[in-house]
């Protein structure tokens, strides 16, 4: 298979690192340097490998090299009335699409439209031996071979360099409206749950500081009908945009104050409110942000008991960032790592201190 010069350069660095057993730190724009356990190795900057390779709006697929700025992709899609439905957090201006897929994070729409991994159709991987491997493709349905492209989404680069990705895109909603309600946390959660079981065009929910906000997206008639059922006070377009972007990219004030550790709890949406109640809630209750000085072990035990996990998102790192894996999961992770990257050169220690 022929390789572009920019990819050949990356591959040569990988081959050299593998020969020298020297760890490499894969890095796009660096907007997610904070995300992961540890940063080790020499930086391998992906931003030389750029460009949208293929985009045909009627195919609902965009294919781009890993170093392509997320902003460029979003702007290109917007020109054709389309979007990345999982609202990937940018956390800055320099985010690359490769980094966004490797991190696998999703924004406010996640609970309603799906996560990053749900929109990954294909990926190219360069492994530690410098082999270029193509998984998935550009079509909507593909079950030939194991679903490695989705496995790479959220892999934080530990299996190799994600050289290019194909993502499913969707038409942008014809119209959007955001409504705000006064509600305490219990009321807000109960309301979110009631709405979820109804066919309503909801694409985001949040609760913070005594107010619940909900976003509706779709055709004008669907929004009209839903508004009549839901009530609430509409936000103007600029405020609505600022609000949801503030949650997506965490520019909103709540996320800025780093005095207390910030916990990110992924729980069943219907988990009760106790320690896990959270200070800010998204995804109908499935994502809860908590500022707390409580011991990590205590927070994690509660999250586990409720059927979820707790991530120490920001703040003094007295514990690991990620919720520990079960022994069998950890064993499988180590075996997969050994298969793809026997000398552990890719992002060593980033996903787990164990590999």
Partner 1 sequence: MPLAVALPKTAAQVREVLRVCHALQMPVVARGAGTGLSGGAMPCADGLVLSLAKLNRILELDPIACTARVEPGVRNLAVSEAAAPFGLYYAPDPSSQIACSIGGNVAENSGGVHCLKYGLTVHNVLGLRGYTIEGEEIVLGGGALDTPGLDLLALAIGSEGLLVVVTEVTLRLIPKPSVAQVVMASFDDVAKAGDAVAAIIAAGIIPAGLEMMDRKATVAVEPFVQAGYDLGAEAILLAESDGTAGEVADEVAEIERVLKAAGSTGCVVSQSEAERLRFWSGRKNAFPAAGRISPDYYCMDGTIPRKHLGRMLRAIEEMEKKYALRCMNVFHAGDGNLHPLILFDAHQEGEWDRADRFGADILALCVALGGTITGEHGVGIEKIGSMCVQFTPSEREAFFAIKRAFDADGLLNPGKAIPTLHRCAEFGRMHVHDGQLPFADLPRF
Cα–Cα distances in angstroms (integers) from residue 17 to residues 12, 129, 134, 290, in the given order: 8, 10, 22, 40
Of the candidates 35, 263, 340, 346, which one interacts with partner 1 according to CB under 8 A?
A: 340
Identify residues 150-179 at the interface with partner 1 (CB under 8 A).
Answer: 150-151, 153-155, 158-159, 170-171, 174
Residue 227, interface with partner 1 (CB under 8 A)? no
Q: For 215, phi and psi rounded to 5 degrees? A: -110, 135
Nearer to partner 1, 106 or 213 (CB): 106
> CB 94 → partner 1: shortest distance, Å?
24
Are 212 and 205 spatial neighbours (Cβ–Cβ below 8 Å)?
Answer: yes
Identify residues 63-82 at the interface with partner 1 (CB under 8 A).
Answer: 81
Residue 8 is encoded by which pair of tokens? 């050949």
Nearer to partner 1, 144 or 297 (CB): 144
Nearer to partner 1, 257 or 317 (CB): 317
Choose the binding region for partner 1 from 15-23, 45-53, 111-119, 290-298 (rule: CB under 8 A).
111-119
CA Rg value for the chain: 21
> CB 65 → partner 1: shortest distance, Å?
17
Cα–Cα distances in angstroms (integers) from residue 81 to residues 125, 128, 170, 173, 323, in the given order: 30, 39, 9, 9, 38
Nearer to partner 1, 69 or 217 (CB): 217
Residue 287, interface with partner 1 (CB under 8 A)? yes
* DSSP H/E element including 52: strand 52-56
Q: For 339, phi and psi rounded to 5 degrees? A: -70, -45
Q: How many residues bind partner 1 (CB under 8 A)?
A: 86
Nearer to partner 1, 48 or 81 (CB): 81
Are 339 and 333 spatial neighbours (Cβ–Cβ below 8 Å)?
Answer: no
> CB 82 → partner 1: shortest distance, Å?
8
Residue with tokens 């350069």, as numbered in its chain: 9
Residue 58, interface with partner 1 (CB under 8 A)? yes
Residue 272, interface with partner 1 (CB under 8 A)? no
- Category of 305 on φ-ψ map: left (φ > 0), alpha (ψ -120 to 50) or beta: alpha
Residue 228, interface with partner 1 (CB under 8 A)? no
Nearer to partner 1, 225 or 242 (CB): 225
- Category of 14 on φ-ψ map: left (φ > 0), alpha (ψ -120 to 50) or beta: alpha
Residue 16, interface with partner 1 (CB under 8 A)? no
Nearer to partner 1, 144 or 238 (CB): 144
> CB 134 → partner 1: shortest distance, Å?
6
User: Half-sphere exposure (CA, 13 Å, Cβ side) for 258?
Assistant: 9
Are 311 and 325 spatial neighbours (Cβ–Cβ below 8 Å)?
Answer: no
Residue 56, interface with partner 1 (CB under 8 A)? yes
Nearer to partner 1, 200 or 299 (CB): 200
Of the candidates 39, 225, 273, 296, which one interacts with partner 1 according to CB under 8 A?
A: 225
> CB 343 → partner 1: shortest distance, Å?
15
CB-CB neighbours of 299 under 10 Å: 22
């Amino acid at each position: 298979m022929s390789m572009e010069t920019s990819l050949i350069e990356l591959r040569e660095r990988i081959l050299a690192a593998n020969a020298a057993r020297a760890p490499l730190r894969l890095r796009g724009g660096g907007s997610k340097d904070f995300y992961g356990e540890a940063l080790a190795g020499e930086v391998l900057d992906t931003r030389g490998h750029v460009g949208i390779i293929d985009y045909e709006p009627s195919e609902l697929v965009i294919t781009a090299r890993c170093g392509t700025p997320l902003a460029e992709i979003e702007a290109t899609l917007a020109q054709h009335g389309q979007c990345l439905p999982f609202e990937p957090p940018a956390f800055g201006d320099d985010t690359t699409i490769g980094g966004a897929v490797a991190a696998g994070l999703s924004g406010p729409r996640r609970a309603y439209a799906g996560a990053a991994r749900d929109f990954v159709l294909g990926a190219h991987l360069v492994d530690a031996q410098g082999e270029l491997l193509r998984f998935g493709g550009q079509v909507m349905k593909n079950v030939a071979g194991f679903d490695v492209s989705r496995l790479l989404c959220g892999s934080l680069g530990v299996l190799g360099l994600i050289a290019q990705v194909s993502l499913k895109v969707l038409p942008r909603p014809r119209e959007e409206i955001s409504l705000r309600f006064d509600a305490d946390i219990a009321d807000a959660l109960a309301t979110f749950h009631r709405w979820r079981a109804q066919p309503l065009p909801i694409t985001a929910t949040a609760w913070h500081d005594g107010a619940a906000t909900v976003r509706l997206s779709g055709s004008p008639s669907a929004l009209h009908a839903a508004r009549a059922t839901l009530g609430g006070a509409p936000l103007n377009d600029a405020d609505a945009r600022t609000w949801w972007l503030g949650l997506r990219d965490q520019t909103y004030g709540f996320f800025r104050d780093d005095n207390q550790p910030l916990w990110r709890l992924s729980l069943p949406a219907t988990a009760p409110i106790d320690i896990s109640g959270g200070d800010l809630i998204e995804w109908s209750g499935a994502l809860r942000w908590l500022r707390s000085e409580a011991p990590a072990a205590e927070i994690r035990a509660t999250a586990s008991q409720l059927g979820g996990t707790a991530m120490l998102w920001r703040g003094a790192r007295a514990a690991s960032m990620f919720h520990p894996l079960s022994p069998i999961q950890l064993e499988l992770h180590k075996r997969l790592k050994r298969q793809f990257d026997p000398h552990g050169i890719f992002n060593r220690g980033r996903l787990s201190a164990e590999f």
